[in-house]
Structure 1
Amino acid sequence: MGFLLENCTFSLLNEEILKNANQFDCGHHDLNDFFQNDVLDYSSQLLGKSYCFLLDEDPKTIVCAFSISNDSIKVNFLPNSRKKNVNKQIPRVKQFRSYPAVLIGRLGVNILFKKRGIGKELMDFIKSWFIDPGNKTGCRFIVVDAYDEDDPLKYYQSNGFKFLFGDEAQERQYTGVSNDRPVKTRLMYYDLIELLAK
């Protein structure tokens, strides 16, 4: 058992929790702004749902939070080499133009709880959630548009995520980011079938 399951309560991140919670700070301005100011609008517009783990000994403390929504990987829009990577573990008769996925829109761990393995625990929780037999929808992949910064990229790579595109130039070409604008995020994916094989 890990810290989250032993010491925290899992909850939908709703208006009541936000009203009563201590300010959530995960050390990243954009993420903090989303969880403090945008999360309720995001939910009310049916764009996604956000969840959190609250500290049992102080339920005003949000240990970590994340948002998810429906997505897909559209392989027919990928370069051939990348299409092969995505299709690699899918039987030929089951290969389609797109595959169901869940998008992690935002994910953050409170800076008071960094360096305790909570980020890994949280990702393991999310992965297991979508292979659970009680899951109400088919979901083959988890995808994320990770900030193109060392820490987020290392985090997702250490949790088994792969880059959807081979490099930034290829990502630029296939996502329509012009050469005069920086690539701020990198598309990454995780194949949930890997968990079922263990």
Structure 2
Amino acid sequence: MSCLSAKVLTAKHKKTISLKTYPSLLLGRLGVDNNQRRKGVGKYICNWCLGLAMKLSNDVGCRYIILETTEKMIKFYIKCNFEKGKVIENEKGKLIWMYQRIS
């Protein structure tokens, strides 16, 4: 994970926090071997990252954990309590930013 300022939140969260950018931890890459899919490994990794983000947020002052994903993975991240943010289209297709507030 790395720390950055996010501009990819939905209007709902922008109304509750009056900042132009939002201090965030980026979940850069998450992958599970094909033989281990549908066994809860991905959800376990997401929960572990969220726990680490909660711990780090006290030291680095972050409010969100964010990630960029493709359309086919949205349902998985919604199950892990992430919300859809901005959708960016480029030559590779649609990339969706998702986020979760660090409690």
TM-score normalized with structure 2 length: 0.80
The share of aligned pairs that are identical, in percent, is 28
Structure 2 unmatched runs, 5+: none
* Rounded Cα–Cα distance in structure 2 between residues aligned with 1:98 and 1:134: 16
Cα deviation digits, residues 90-149 of structure 1 (max 9, x gap): 4xxxx2211111111210112222221111111111001111278531211111110222
Alignment map for 1:63-82 (pairs within 5 Å): 68-74=1-7, 82=10
Equivalent residue, structure 2, for 1:190: 100
* Rounded Cα–Cα distance in structure 2 between residues aligned with 1:100 and 1:70: 7
Equivalent residue, structure 1, for 2:76: 155
* Rounded Cα–Cα distance in structure 1 between residues aligned with 2:56 and 2:75: 30
Task: Give the aligned CA root-mean-square deviation in angstroms.
Answer: 2.5
Question: Which 4+ residue blocks in structure 1 deviate beyond 2 angstroms?
Answer: 87-90, 133-136, 181-184
TM-score normalized with structure 1 length: 0.45
**CA 1:134–1:142: 2 relative to 1, 3 Å:** closer
Look up the equivalent residue of 1:121 and give its one-letter code. Y
Q: Are the counterparts in 1 of residues 57 and 63 from structure 2 also a CA contact under 8 Å?
A: no
